[in-house]
Amino acid sequence: MKIQPPLSILVLHGPNLNLLGQREPQIYGALSLATIDSRLKAEAALLLVDIVTAQSNHEGVLVDKIHEALGRHQGILINPGAYTHTSVALRDAIAGVGLPAVEVHLSNVYRREEFRHHSYIAPVAVGQISGFGANSYLLGLRALVYHLQEGQGEGKEQGKS
């Protein structure tokens, strides 16, 4: 039996999420991004997976990070921030690398302004979790890991590993 290295997940935070905990706590909660990242690391340890986290306010930097995930990570957990509602480039990058991605949002975007109801990312994501504050990230990580593990399980049943 071949020993598999742990799954590695890239966690991407989009624009303005570096401000978390400092402004608009009524919408986005009181936790800082550093606290969310450390909770994600604790959750990843429970799930026996590795994570690498990054935040950028720049669309092209996020596109580059998605490209660089190929060969390094098996899945992407992403809060694209406002780029959710505007970015064909991020959508094309996720579709282009073909890695399973889960989209997460702190706020329930469907209870907010109409322009937040459309996501360019959702059609190329495995799924979306929205409205649970920092727990959206933890739920999203769990969903992505289960998705990846189920995929591997199916492969094994078919004698592919």
Binding pattern for the stretch 89-128 against ligand CA2, x by CB under 6 A and - elsewhere:
----------------xxx-x------x------------
Binding pattern for the stretch 8-37 against ligand CA2, x by CB under 6 A and - elsewhere:
--------xx-xx--xx---x---------
CB of 17 or CB of 124, closer to ligand CA2: 17
CB of 65 to ligand CA2, least distance (A): 17
Q: Among residues 106, 78, 96, which one has the least CA distance to residue 9?
A: 78
CB of 63 to ligand CA2, least distance (A): 17
Q: Rounded distance, CA 82 to CA 2, Å?
A: 42
DSSP H stretches of helix in the chain: 25-28, 33-47, 59-69, 88-97, 134-157
Question: Is 64 one of the binding residues for ligand CA2 (CB under 6 A)?
Answer: no
Q: Rounded distance, CA 106 to CA 32, Å?
A: 12
What does the radius of gyration of the chain's CA atoms come to, in whole angstroms?
Answer: 16
28 is catalytic: yes
Residues catalogued as catalytic: 28, 105
